[in-house]
Amino acid sequence: MNPPSDRLEYLATDAPCFNYCLWPYEPRLPVAGKFAGVNLLYQSFAAAGIDPRAYDLVNRIRAGIGPFRTVFGIKWVAGRLSWEFYFYDYARREREVSISRVLDVIRPLAPCGIRVNENLPYFMFSLDIDDALVTGARDLDVIHMYVGNPGSTVSSGIAYAVKAAATTLENFYFFFDAQTQLADARDKIACSARLDATQFDVDRILHPEFRACRTICVANKQAADTVYFSEVDVDQLLAFLRLLDYPASTIRFVENNRGMLDHLRYDVGLDYVAENSENGPEIRMVKGGFYGVF
């Protein structure tokens, strides 16, 4: 299913390009007249049949904090689509894009009773988006807050789940340059309490077809480990969508509009667990996510 034609957005000549860390990059081709990345988000809305108020949420956020300042993640787990919106401001305590500001912007559509201490040195936060949220069936009940990790020898972050009752640890993230730190990324994947790296080839996680990218991020989460590949091209995105078995309509949309999407770079991530089987240890991918900016 395609998004409504009147929802499709096109880029101007001077449109900026950012990856999922909101780091700028040079587009692969001239952007003028090409699809904006948000069209992938709109396609996923159409594929999932989410309430039209999801589009209103996007517009409200852009009006409140500006365009090209929000990263969206399109998640695919257990045959269902869901979304996460990410907000960055590396000024930390001197930030302009704060949790409080975004919560005020979206409050008419997504009320939230969480009170946040804006003195905390977070540089990023994210919100889970689904049909229940945009229709008012649930309030926003968790904010994912990210802080730095001083002392780490690579770019690193720690995520916490902030709820009304308590703040709990969620995930650790470590970023490696894909061209110069590949061995370090491999070692980080192998250093896990969830899998025995002597029993399988790490390339089953550190997929060679995605390594032509900018950074590789390895994350340790509560229920799985994750690897992210940043700034892949449209053909690598297609390979990722097929690998994770995303909805056929999403794959067709990218295939049919490849020439309108080949100027951008994309970010992809997969969550995996190790399981025992009759044939020995197996790697099972339990969740996928790909990312863009609106």
* pLDDT above 90: residue 195: no
pLDDT tens per residue across span 77-100:
999 999 999 999 999 999 999 999
Phi and psi for 285 in degrees, rounded to 5? -85, 120
**Left, alpha or beta for 70 (phi > 0: left; psi -120 to 50: alpha)?**
beta
Phi and psi for 236 in degrees, rounded to 5? -65, -35
Distances (CA, A) of 99 to 65, 103, 281: 11, 6, 42
- What's the chain's average pLDDT? 95
**pLDDT at site 144:** 98
Cα separation, 71 vs 15, whole angstroms: 15
- pTM given for the model: 0.95
pLDDT tens per residue across span 114-172:
999 999 999 999 999 999 999 999 999 999 999 999 998 899 999 999 999 999 999 99
Domain count, the chain: 1
* pLDDT above 90: residue 281: no
Which among 279, 263, 290 is positioned nearest to 27, based on CA atoms? 263
Give the other-Cβ count within 10 Å of 253's Cβ: 24
Domain that holds residue 139: 5-293
Q: What percentage of the chain has pLDDT greater than the value 70?
A: 100
* pLDDT above 70: residue 280: no
The type of residue at 143 is I
Helix axes 248-256, 38-48, angle to 10 degrees: 150
Whether the CB-CB separation of 42 and 55 falls below 8 Å is answered with yes
* pLDDT above 90: residue 286: yes
DSSP 112: B
Task: For residue 9, give both structure tokens.
Answer: 């957005």
Q: What percentage of the chain has pLDDT greater than the value 90?
A: 89
**pLDDT at site 33:** 98
